[in-house]
């Protein structure tokens, strides 16, 4: 082996390696070229084995050529690698391209159910007067739904509430939110200002103004010296907030076993403004809730001494209020889930 031969071998190796680098089609192919020519058992190592057979003064010159070959090939591998990765990225970007000018898919936006919206409006008005929302169970016991509210088992007043019973002895689907009064009185101490919204159930033939499932909001205030005048003032504020500042209001005598005295609270007809029309039975008035001073027996059942404390309570049907606010004529619409109806309360 002499200097000229070895130099020629190295020149050829450089040419072969550069050709192989140029031909590599992907990063894996390039790795293979690197291994084949520059690897520990590669072609360059192979050629340099012969260096031991050269005269001592020729060895550095061959070494210099070999280093030059390694550098040139490494540089070519690095440069082509950049090209290949760039091409791969470009191909991927093209394949995964997103057309940002395509119109988006519209997200269907829900609306608040008119019953929920009306409960929120009622909460808001009474909230201004310090009333706090509580919730009682929909499956209630007979004692709390009736007996604690001064309605004994055999009392004819039970006929006012057509009841749906459940499989649990002495339990039923609450017929009104009034049992919540008992629960609040037992859980808290006066002064009490509680609002109890919730779903109620009655064994009822369904028509445009009756449902077997509906909502009520109950109110309860208990404090020293609470009077019927306080109730009247509060309900006036409520009626004016929901039905307009100039709306006429009145109390009529009513009957509920858990209040004494009991009243019906009327507002001037929201359709004819008091003139008299079919919607108000030509009376000019519409009843929106029942109310009264909490019966001493009920206060005592709630653990409150009626000699010290007085209270008032009221209960209203949410669907009825929502119908008056929005001019809805059929109560069944609230439970049907028809989006054409519900979408109107946006
Ligand atoms: N619970 C009654 C009903 O369902 C409504 C009611 C009337 C509630 C008078 C009251 C009240 O708190 O004082 O018909």
pTM for this prediction = 0.72
Q: Which strands make up the sheet holding 132-133, listed edge to edge?
A: 132-133, 192-201, 213-223, 310-317, 285-294, 259-268, 249-254
Query: From the CA of 290, how far away is ligand 1's center (Å)?
Result: 5
Q: Which atom of ligand 1 is nearest to the CA of 216?
A: 4
Give the number of other CB atoms < 10 A from CB of residue 307. 9
Question: Who's near 184: CB < 8 A, 6+ residues apart?
Answer: 134, 192, 194, 196, 220, 302
Q: Which atom of ligand 1 is nearest to the CA of 220?
A: 12
**Whole-number Å distance between alpha carbons of 332 and 117:** 17
Q: Is 292 left (phi over 0), alpha (psi -120 to 50) or beta?
A: left
Residue nearest to atom 12 of ligand 1 (CA): 314
Class of domain 114-342: alpha beta
Residue nearest to atom 2 of ligand 1 (CA): 315
| Per-residue tens of pLDDT for the chain, all 346 residues | 788 888 889 899 999 999 999 999 888 899 999 999 999 998 889 888 888 888 888 888 888 988 999 999 999 999 999 988 898 899 999 999 988 898 888 888 888 999 999 999 999 999 999 999 999 999 999 999 999 999 988 887 777 778 999 999 999 999 999 999 999 999 999 999 999 999 999 998 999 888 899 999 999 999 999 999 999 999 999 999 999 999 999 999 999 999 999 999 999 998 888 899 988 899 999 999 999 999 999 999 999 999 999 999 999 999 999 999 998 989 999 999 999 999 998 7
The torsion angles phi and psi of 293, rounded to 5 degrees, stand at -85, 130
Query: From the CA of 315, how far away is ligand 1's center (Å)?
Result: 4
> Domain coordinates of the chain in residue numbers?
3-95, 114-342
Residue nearest to atom 8 of ligand 1 (CA): 315
């Amino acid at each position: 082996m002499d200097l000229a031969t070895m130099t020629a071998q190295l020149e050829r190796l450089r040419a072969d390696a550069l050709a192989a680098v140029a031909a590599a089609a992907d990063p894996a192919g390039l790795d293979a070229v690197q291994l084949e020519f520059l690897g520990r058992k590669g072609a360059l190592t192979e050629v340099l084995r012969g260096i031991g057979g050269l005269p001592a003064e020729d060895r550095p010159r061959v070494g210099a050529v070999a280093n030059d070959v390694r550098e040139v090939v490494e540089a070519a591998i690095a440069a082509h690698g950049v090209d290949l990765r760039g091409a791969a990225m470009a191909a991927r970007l093209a394949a995964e391209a997103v057309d940002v000018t395509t119109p988006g898919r519209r997200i269907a936006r829900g609306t608040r159910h008119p019953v929920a919206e009306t409960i929120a409006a009622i909460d808001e008005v009474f909230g201004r007067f310090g009333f706090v929302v509580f919730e009682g169970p929909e499956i209630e016991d007979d004692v709390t739904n009736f007996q604690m509210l001064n309605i004994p088992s055999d009392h004819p007043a039970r006929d006012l509430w057509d009841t749906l019973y459940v499989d649990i002895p002495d339990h039923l689907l609450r017929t009104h939110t009034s049992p919540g009064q008992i629960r609040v009185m037992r859980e808290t101490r006066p002064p009490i200002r509680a609002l109890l919204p919730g779903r109620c159930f009655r064994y009822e033939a369904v028509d445009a103004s009756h449902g077997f499932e509906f909502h009520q909001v109950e109110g309860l205030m208990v404090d020293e010296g609470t009077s019927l005048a306080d109730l009247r003032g509060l309900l006036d504020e409520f009626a004016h907030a929901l039905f307009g500042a100039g709306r006429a209001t009145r109390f009529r005598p009513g009957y509920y076993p858990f209040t004494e005295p009991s009243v019906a609270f009327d507002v001037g007809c929201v359709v004819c403004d008091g003139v008299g029309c079919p919607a108000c039975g030509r009376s000019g008035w519409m009843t929106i809730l029942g109310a009264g001073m909490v019966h001493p027996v009920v206060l005592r059942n709630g653990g409150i001494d009626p000699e010290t404390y007085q209270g008032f309570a009221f209960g209203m049907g949410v669907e009825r209020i929502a119908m008056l606010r929005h001019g809805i004529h059929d109560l069944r619409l609230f439970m049907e889930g028809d989006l054409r109806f519900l979408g109107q309360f946006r």
